[in-house]
Amino acid sequence: MLISGIATGLCAAFFSALSYLATRYFTHTRGASSTLMLLILSHVQMGAVSAIALPILLWSGHLTLPPAGQWAGTLIGVVVIYLIGHTGLLMALRYSEPSRVSPMMALKLIVLAAMAMTFGHTPLTPLQWVAIGFCVVAGISLNYTGGKLHVRSIIGLAVGVMFYSVSDWNSGVLMDELGMSRVQSPFVAFFLIYILAGAIMTPLLLFWGSRKGRDWLDAVPFSFTWLVSVVALYGCFALAGVVFGNIMQSTRGIISIALAAVLARLGHVHLESLTPRSVMLRRIGAAVLMTVAISLYSYEKGRLDRHAAAAASVPPR
């Protein structure tokens, strides 16, 4: 089970890193409207795949969706917030290399910690504060590896980190509302999210889509790698737990930097610029620190959750 969890977790991280490169390729080879075009084309594609996959999943698992009134409101909120965050991520990748953007998405840790304290009324432990400190130091370090980030990339990152965090938080609420097992509910929620996202994006094809087959074809690498990364991540959650899955996913920053080094030396400087070894080593160090931060925070959260569950299972005297 653990080996399968490691395999699916690394698969999720690897394909997540590839999806960032696919985004960079699409937006870098097109004009100013490329970010919005990729957002629309890819979600129409992923929505179509999800619309096929969900009935198969429900049929094979003998599952029935609960009444829509129980979960539709949360689903709409999750999708709208997610699309805003995804727009920010695409904008960040248009103006900065994936090897810098990918590790910095781990800054979601800070937002999720703030939400846990504010809405969950959960104080952070000393170990979690250490993890947040590591995350901040790593983020600042990445900003200055290879020059300051483009201001639009910083704005995109801020939007992506903030709205993705809120979307992640509410995705957990959606899974609870579906009332299925911890293995089934993530996949059902995932397909519902992308079906609705595709439905929202479809009318926008008239204004910001494309009639060029080449544009649709070039959007496929992102759609494919993004879908595989999320499905593999949920598989890791099911096999090894959410804590372990988050730790494995955080390795995408290190993977992105390794891919950047290979691509730059192969001459693909339109995707990743060639940087001195010292800069690359600093980026790797910052990405490793981000991974350590998420590992510490996730480990501590898992420990606290287990402790709370054990306390709740003890009958009152």
pLDDT per residue of the chain (317 residues) written in tens, 0 to 9 = 667 778 888 898 999 999 999 998 898 777 667 889 999 999 999 999 999 999 999 999 888 999 999 999 999 999 999 999 999 999 888 888 888 888 888 788 788 788 878 876 778 888 888 888 888 888 877 767 766 778 888 999 999 999 988 888 888 889 889 988 877 888 899 999 999 999 999 999 998 888 899 999 999 999 999 999 988 888 887 777 666 677 777 788 888 888 888 888 887 766 777 777 788 888 888 888 888 888 888 788 778 778 777 776 656 55
DSSP 105: G
Residue 229 has what pLDDT? 92
Q: Is the pTM of this model over 0.75?
A: yes
Cβ atoms within 10 Å of 125's Cβ, excluding its own: 14
Please identify which residue in the block is written with the tokens 């969890």: 5
Contacts of 236 (CB under 8 A, 6+ apart): 5, 8, 9, 12, 244, 245, 248, 249
> How far is the C-alpha of 164 from the C-alpha of 161, rounded, in Å?
5
